[in-house]
Amino acid sequence: MIDLHTHTIFSDGDLVPSELVRRAEKIGLTGIGFTDHGDLSNIDFIIPRVVLIADELNQVLDINILPGIEITHVPPSLIGKTVARARDLGAKIVSVHGESLVEPIAPGTNKAGIEAGIDLLAHPGLITEDEALMAREKGILLEITARKGHCLANGHIARLAQKTGVKLVINSDAHTVGDLIDASLAKKITRGAGLTETDFDIMQKNALSLF
């Protein structure tokens, strides 16, 4: 199981990176992404630190770690600039906090993130078919999520992926102890979104491609 969307104490998570990784390793995860919430005010603080700890842990653990960022509540007109800065700082996975049904994300965020060439569009809510097609062309992954509230659009995203061929991943969006999911629960969430265990296997291959 690979989980590309987690949070640490560097944003609104409860755990230091080392504990998050240990808990992930304990439940059988083989890969994890650090994607704390960031904008132009703090990414120069977050990214170098998660890059440092990821480099250290990757030398001594079997689980693979990708240091990154989830660009969050950034005005669409600034997303491209923020993505470029995150790449310059060493982020290996750049995500945008998509237009979830339960947060006041600015309209146009999904499109701006896709146009900026991010790796992952997190919980993109009622993403349009045109946006999904654009994401497919750019090789951007859309997220099926275990996160309360954000998961309300999982069925829409799954159906749109079946129609357009855009690639999916499944993530926990973990913030605290107990938020991480193992493969067994991830498969149930996959089925709950109207997908199959074969789709789960494909999503894991999609996640692995970022490593």
* pLDDT tier, 149 (very low <50, low <70, confident <90, very high otherwise): very high
Task: Report the pLDDT value the prediction gives residue 151, as an integer from 0 to 100.
Answer: 98
Task: Report the pLDDT value the prediction gives residue 163, as an integer from 0 to 100.
Answer: 98
This prediction's pTM: 0.97
Whole-number Cα distances in Å, 145 to 54, 123, 140 = 23, 6, 16
- When pLDDT is averaged across residues 50-57 and rounded to a whole number, the result is 98
* pLDDT tier, 122 (very low <50, low <70, confident <90, very high otherwise): very high
Looking at 3.10.180.10, 3.20.20.140, 3.30.1360.70, 3.40.640.10, the CATH number of the domain 2-208 comes to 3.20.20.140
- Break the chain into its structural domains and give their ranges: 2-208
Whole-number Å distance between alpha carbons of 200 and 146: 13
- When pLDDT is averaged across residues 45-54 and rounded to a whole number, the result is 98
At 11-37, the pLDDT tens digits run 999 999 999 999 999 999 999 999 999
| DSSP symbols for the chain | -EEEEE--TTTT-SS-HHHHHHHHHHTT-SEEEE--EE-TTTHHHHHHHHHHHHHHHHHH-SSEEEEEEEE-S--HHHHHHHHHHHHHTT-SEEEEE---TTS-PPTTHHHHHHHTT-SEEES--S--HHHHHHHHHHTPEEEEE-STTGGGGHHHHHHHHHHH---EEEE--B-STT----HHHHHHHHHHTT--HHHHHHHHHHHHTT-
The strand pair at 141-145 and 168-171 is best described as parallel
Task: Report the pLDDT value the prediction gives residue 73, as an integer from 0 to 100.
Answer: 98
Task: Report the pLDDT value the prediction gives residue 65, as an integer from 0 to 100.
Answer: 98
At 78-108, the pLDDT tens digits run 999 999 999 999 999 999 999 999 999 999 9
